[in-house]
Amino acid sequence: MTSSADAALDLPVSSLLWCCTFMLAPIVASYVLDLGLHANLLVASCRTMAQLSLLGVILAPVFSYDSIVPVSVMLVVSLLVAAREAYARPSHVYPGMFFVCLLSMLLSVAVSLTLCIAFVVPVRPWWSARYLVPLNGMLLGATLSGTTIALDHLLSEFSQWRGRLECYLAFGASWWETIAPLLASSVRTGMLPTINTMNVIGLVSIPGMMTGQLLAGQEPATASRYQIVIMFMISLSVCVSVGASTLITSWLMFDGQLRLRDGFLSKVQGKRTDIFVWLCRQVYGCLSWPFVRARDSSSDYVVLRSVSAE
């Protein structure tokens, strides 16, 4: 039980604006040293404030109503954005890669959340926004990083060692014997950041969730137990997502005759579309779709009339 004196201090807007001056040092240093990062730092700072403020506005009614519908919408949208980002980051892509990322991340988060809610933190109702939304966000964030690193490593290996893999197949190696070293290396690469974090947690750094609970007045012992649960959930989620995505990708690289597909893998050219820009375009497309449909219908009608008149 926390007293009112232990509750988190309110952070007014004036304090937040004062905190913005912390970013002046790296921005000025980048400009003076000609690092070329001052514009990126300024944009990143503005986006951080805008995106987190928007998240706070969105979460307020979701937590207030605590209904399964808004919670489900939050989970689905965050999953789609995470899958798109995991698809867009690697240096190589292939057809259907977005859906592989989506399926792998959905499976990993679903397994971790189900086991946690069923046996570790029996939340009632199970869709409680105060638990499900933050847990889902932390799992997706870690899973996104691990999946991206693993897929980038795997696809680069397929591109670089295509001749060697075909040589293995020509000498009678099975599918598993051909891809096993690549899979092991990719899964190891994807899991390494999570393992490194677990090795130094509590000694070098205090993780975000535990910091938030301590600032909110939670008992340190309780906060540490919650953080242990989170780290084990993250490890499971990253392992499932990395394993599933690399295994499915390796299977798709070969055709029914156990041959590497020609032209299936392509290197990304040009600058990637920013995730925020992409998300704004998707929202605009969804909102404008009824008007586009109405305009297209009226245009078709005019064309039909003109043809019939002839």
- Tell me if 254 is assigned to some domain: yes
Q: Is the peptide bond before 125 cis (omega within 30 degrees of 0)?
A: yes
- Tell me if 4 is assigned to some domain: no
Looking at the fold, whether 84 and 45 belong to one and the same domain comes out as no
- Tell me if 3 is assigned to some domain: no
- The band of 289, judged by pLDDT with boundaries at 50, 70 and 90, is low
Domain with 285 in it = 274-310
Looking at the fold, whether 189 and 44 belong to one and the same domain comes out as no
Mean per-residue pLDDT of the chain: 83
Task: Give residue-wise pLDDT tens across range 58-80.
Answer: 888 888 887 888 899 999 999 99
Looking at the fold, whether 142 and 258 belong to one and the same domain comes out as yes
Looking at the fold, whether 76 and 119 belong to one and the same domain comes out as yes
Mean pLDDT of 274-303: 60
- Tell me if 2 is assigned to some domain: no
Report d(CA 236, CA 215) in Å as an integer.
27
Task: Give residue-wise pLDDT tens across range 249-278.
Answer: 999 999 888 888 888 888 887 666 666 666
Looking at the fold, whether 157 and 244 belong to one and the same domain comes out as yes
Looking at the fold, whether 141 and 241 belong to one and the same domain comes out as yes
Report yes or no: 92 and 156 within 8 Å, Cβ to Cβ.
Answer: yes
The residues near 109 (Cβ < 8 Å, ≥ 6 apart) are 79, 136, 139, 140, 143, 237, 241
Last residue of a domain, one of 65, 82, 101: 65
Whether the per-residue pLDDT at 103 is higher than 60: the answer is: yes
Looking at the fold, whether 98 and 240 belong to one and the same domain comes out as yes
Whether the per-residue pLDDT at 3 is higher than 60: the answer is: no
Position 11 scores a pLDDT of 75
Helix (H) or strand (E) holding 123: none
Number of domains comprising the chain: 3
- Tell me if 45 is assigned to some domain: yes
Whether the per-residue pLDDT at 122 is higher than 70: the answer is: yes
Looking at the fold, whether 162 and 301 belong to one and the same domain comes out as no
Position 267 scores a pLDDT of 86
- Tell me if 244 is assigned to some domain: yes
pTM: 0.78
Q: 10 Å Cβ neighbour count for 188?
A: 13
Task: Give residue-wise pLDDT tens across range 213-256.
Answer: 777 777 888 888 888 999 999 999 999 999 999 999 999 999 88
Tokens of 140: 């997706």
- Tell me if 5 is assigned to some domain: no
For residue 38, the one-letter residue type is H
Q: 10 Å Cβ neighbour count for 30?
A: 17
Report d(CA 175, CA 186) in Å as an integer.
17
Q: Choose between 195 and 39: higher pLDDT.
A: 195
Looking at the fold, whether 283 and 148 belong to one and the same domain comes out as no
Looking at the fold, whether 258 and 286 belong to one and the same domain comes out as no
Position 123 scores a pLDDT of 82
Task: Give residue-wise pLDDT tens across range 135-186.
Answer: 999 999 999 999 999 999 999 999 898 888 889 888 888 889 999 999 999 9
